[in-house]
Structure 1
């Protein structure tokens, strides 16, 4: 038994999307045995562009029942049947959310007539309901009204049931372990199956082949599948536009992050927002107080005249200063890691030699601060090669940093003899140093022990 459904909505995304009209046809595989159609009062304004598309306006639904008033009917007519719709995840998701808001669990098996059509009627230019019906001579009346679209979907479903191999395809799509109902309507399962469970970056592309989103993952297949389960407005819209997915392996999360950043800057995909925002910078600086004690402190970079080291979030900045304080036995009070008028009493940093208590001579303490400053400046002039896992067991990935600037990444076969910076540079794919790449690399170096993780350091 099937219930073939179409809804019209206010168009505000899954969680804010309210139904304005619903049509349900109960179909036994041979004929329609029941029908329910109703306007629905969404209890919120209907946008003008939705009215222009559907003809449904606020006045038309003013005296219509709310969803809670028709919920019992919708629940009963769909009970013990397979939920069928054109791009089923949208209709099912909106109805499921309407039920959730009245504290009713709504769960049905699903079939998508877009995905079924792509499999059983291959080779068409478009699988939108209007163009599909036109291509295979299905009459479609009252387009963008629930009953008209639902009835056309019934006629389409009849053709799909009679298509060669339909029984095998239907069973495969209904298999509980099958991901057919989860995948976007325009995405072939064969494309999804090619995605490996390895680190890398992935590209969502629309039907025109345009890149609409770039992401990174430690497990590409798992992360991509996660998009299809996410019911947020952005994710639902993005997935509905996705017709193809491409990917590149990175070998490690670090290289994936750097590759992702470069591709976002290159393509500016419409659904990538994170790296388009303004990033607030923080910096460590030094100053001398009235007692002659040199302080190390941090602040937003606008308030820092001569920054010693720049960071892209306050957490990393403070963590780095914490490490400097510990390594050079500095005072937490004079590194501004502890706000106090008295002597320092930091719960973790206990290596202070007592300058805050008057036990350590100020000139001696200042020499330690100057050594810390010198070390910070020296790090900026070093050449660093970060060694990471390659895309397979036979290679390593390397990331090159010169004079504090990201220069690029590359992959080197483990069988090759590499003994100098010149050798390594031959494998580096040049990249731009940006705010994002600096933030990525600063965070990486702070999280990892530089002696073990940064495998090779050449002095300039």
Structure 2
């Protein structure tokens, strides 16, 4: 016995989503034997955009029963029945939450007519209820009203039951071990079965192939399935759009993190919240003016030629330059810490030897600047981090040159990782960002058992 269900809601996510209308058809596999349809007072305002979609407004539900008042009828009609819906996890999740608020544990076996349709009648461009019904000649009246959509789903389900192999498919879908009830409606079981249990990144694509989410995992398959079990509104919206899952192996968590960061910035996926902002980075650099004096200055990284040091903001740049001035007796005027036409007069830095007022030769001053630059470059580490490869025949590496992340790569096990030159041909160049800097610092701090090779 089946109950085919559709609901209309206020559209505020699973936990804030209240039902405004519900329709339930009890179906024995041949004919409808019972029906329950009702508007529902959600006890909260209905947003204008929802009214525009469904036609249900606050006035229509003002005198309608609350969910609590019809809860016993819902429990009775769905008792000992399989819960069927188009994209079942949404309807089931909202109804289950309504019962949870009443202190009732609502549990039913589930069937999704989207997943069943993709399996039993494959080849359609879209499996949304409206487009699918139009494609196979099922009349759909009162679209986006509970009874109209539920009745169309009954007709669709009847057609699915009449297809070849429907009995075996439904039996397999109802098997708890199959995980069919938890998978997103548009994702095939075969796609999930082929996912590896190794480290890497995964891409969720929508029906047009666009990447809508990028994630990293030590175990790709386990992490992907974890999205489908989480019932937050964010995850539910994401899962309803996923059509295909792709992946790239990394061999290790560190490289997975770096790959994930790069992919997010490259694709700007809809459902990724973190790392989407391309924060402006800054750099300290040097140049020579018309008088032959070497300046130290800072600017955005993209406007800095041959940067000496990359930092995350202007404040850090200015503070670093102030320390350089103090340590090497540099002139704050020529370190761009103050703007003046005459001699420097910095409120704190008093060690200038007078290049700004002709008390120090340009040659002597430039030598101090060069010494300061050399000191900065020496303090920046050259590091090769070695990690496991994507298979038993290779190993991976991460390159940091002069304190700047250069990228990662993969080499065969018999390749010696001992110098930058030996790895250049295998390097996959990447951008040094605030996020990659944080990832690498964390790796150096936490993974002390995997010591880097300092060059």
TM-score (norm 2): 0.79
Structure 2 stretches of 5 or more lacking a match?
282-312, 322-374
Deviations 1:98-157 (A, max 9, x none): 111111000110000000001111111111111111111111111111011101111111
Match of 1:431 in 2: 430
Instruction: Kindly report structure 1 stretches of 4+ aligned residues shifted beyond 6 Å.
Output: 278-281
Deviations 1:356-399 (A, max 9, x none): xxxxxxxxxxxxxxxxxxxx967742310001111111111100
Deviations 1:3-31 (A, max 9, x none): 00000001111111110000001111111
* Maintained 8 Å contact 1:395/1:414: yes
Aligned equivalents of 2:152, 2:380: Cα separation in 1: 69
* Maintained 8 Å contact 1:26/1:35: yes
- Number of matched pairs: 374
Match of 1:397 in 2: 396
Match of 1:250 in 2: 250
Aligned equivalents of 1:260, 1:455: Cα separation in 2: 22
Match of 1:453 in 2: 450
Where do 1:45-444 residues align within 5 Å? 45-276=45-276, 302=315, 305-307=318-320, 380-444=379-443
Match of 1:360 in 2: none
Pairwise CA RMSD: 2.2
Once the two structures are TM-superposed, the CA of residue 278 in structure 1 deviates from its matched residue by 8.5
* Maintained 8 Å contact 1:301/1:307: no
Deviations 1:26-69 (A, max 9, x none): 11111111110000001111111111111100000000011111
Aligned equivalents of 1:166, 1:304: Cα separation in 2: 67
* Maintained 8 Å contact 1:379/1:404: no
Once the two structures are TM-superposed, the CA of residue 410 in structure 1 deviates from its matched residue by 0.3
Once the two structures are TM-superposed, the CA of residue 200 in structure 1 deviates from its matched residue by 0.3
Aligned equivalents of 1:194, 1:178: Cα separation in 2: 14
Aligned equivalents of 2:314, 2:278: Cα separation in 1: 14
Structure 1 stretches of 5 or more lacking a match?
282-299, 309-375
Deviations 1:248-275 (A, max 9, x none): 0001110000000001111111111111
Aligned equivalents of 2:206, 2:378: Cα separation in 1: 44
* Maintained 8 Å contact 2:265/2:278: no
Aligned equivalents of 1:429, 1:102: Cα separation in 2: 55
Secondary structure of the residue aligned to 1:14 is: coil
Secondary structure of the residue aligned to 1:409 is: strand
Once the two structures are TM-superposed, the CA of residue 192 in structure 1 deviates from its matched residue by 1.1
Aligned equivalents of 1:277, 1:40: Cα separation in 2: 42
* Maintained 8 Å contact 1:385/1:454: no
